[in-house]
Amino acid sequence: MKKIYFLLTACISIAFTSCMDGGEMAWQDPVPENQNVYGNKDIKESNVITIQQLKDKYKTAFQTSGKMEEVKEDIQIKGYVTSNDIEGNMYNEITIEDETNAIFLEIAQGGVYGYLPIGTEILVDLKGLTVGNYRCSALIGVPYTNKDGAESVGKMSRFLWQQHFTYTGKKKEVKPTLFADGSTPTTWDFLNDDGKLGILKNVTFKKGGYYNSSTSKFVDLELTEESRFAVTDYSTSWYFNEQQSDGTKGIAVQLYNSAYADFAALPIPQGKVNITGVFKHYENASGSNKSWEIIIRSLSDIEEVK
């Protein structure tokens, strides 16, 4: 028995030592990227167009409210993930960006950040998916019809999504493009810059508001030391002293926060800040009110300026 015990102990020790000596194996991810359980490994890169070319090709669907179109050609896009749902402020969608433009991908799945961290490049097979917009913000998803019969681009199931993307194996640090600095008006264009990761520098908050669906009224909020990123049960917008806040007089700029974000109940900064986030085009049904919505990915996207 003693001989058997010592023999087993020696085998276990050798195996353990081998794992430790092969540090590269010991510390790598549980699922190597070339064996990743996510995505469709059968997708091969072909007929890749840029995101800008996609937006140009389906211009009517992307730019006309209520329009959408199914992609019937064998075309692909690829880009680096610039936002995901890591702290709950993005809901069932991510953005990807290439050297030309950016776009929202609508996915009915939570916890996407676990397999699509920011900076990961993916290849998306578009055939069979639908392109269109919500309030003129460009989206890729599937057709959706609400209870009133209105059609729009909706969120694709996680199973469908898994069939339409794959990893390229590339990663990089994604950096925001300057949106505006202080009171300088932005030069960003809704059609060319919607969905991009940007940074708004040297601004201070002045007021907020949210839409109460029960009363169908917009509720104004004063900025106080008690102000939070989002009011309980309501996604909340906050405006800036330095930037336009009335979309009927100009292009409004607002920080938009989900009531379900991890940081929703934390206080709004009272001093000057820099804000990094995805910039979404939001336009009301009549087109009379236009705005940029900044959607931060995590609380670390807001930097207090000393």
Buried b (16+ CB within 10 A) or exposed e, 137-149: bbbbbbebeeeee
CA separation, residue 106 to residues 161, 166, 170 (Å):
9, 16, 22
**pLDDT tens, 179-216?**
999 999 999 998 889 999 999 999 999 999 999 989 99
Chain-centre distance for alpha carbon 42: 25
Q: What are phi and psi of 137, to 5 degrees?
A: -100, 125
Same domain for 224 and 190?
yes
Residue % of the chain over a pLDDT of 70: 88
Instruction: Check which CATH number belongs to the domain holding 53 and give it.
Output: 2.40.50.200
**pLDDT tens, 227-248?**
999 999 999 999 999 999 998 8
DSSP one-letter string for 71-94:
--S--EEEEEEEE-STTSSS-SEE
What per-residue confidence (pLDDT) applies to 17?
43
Instruction: Check which CATH number belongs to the domain holding 275 and give it.
Output: 2.40.50
| Three-point CA angle 240, 299, 193, nearest 5° | 60
**pLDDT tens, 110-120?**
999 999 999 99
Pairwise CA distance, residues 247 & 226, whole Å: 26
Same domain for 183 and 165?
no
Segment 46-58 mean pLDDT: 97
Q: Residue holding tokens 């669906």?
A: 213
Given a contact cutoff of 8 angstroms between Cβ atoms, the answer to whether 229 and 257 are in contact is: yes
pLDDT band, residue 26 (cuts 50/70/90): very low
| pLDDT higher than threshold 50 for residue 13 | no
Q: Which domain holds residue 165?
A: 36-171
Given a contact cutoff of 8 angstroms between Cβ atoms, the answer to whether 273 and 300 are in contact is: no
Residue 28 lies in a domain: no
Same domain for 105 and 153?
yes
Q: How many domains, the chain? A: 2
Q: Which helix (H) or strand (E) holds 102?
A: strand 102-108
Segment 276-299 mean pLDDT: 91
Pairwise CA distance, residues 221 & 44, whole Å: 51
What per-residue confidence (pLDDT) applies to 156?
98
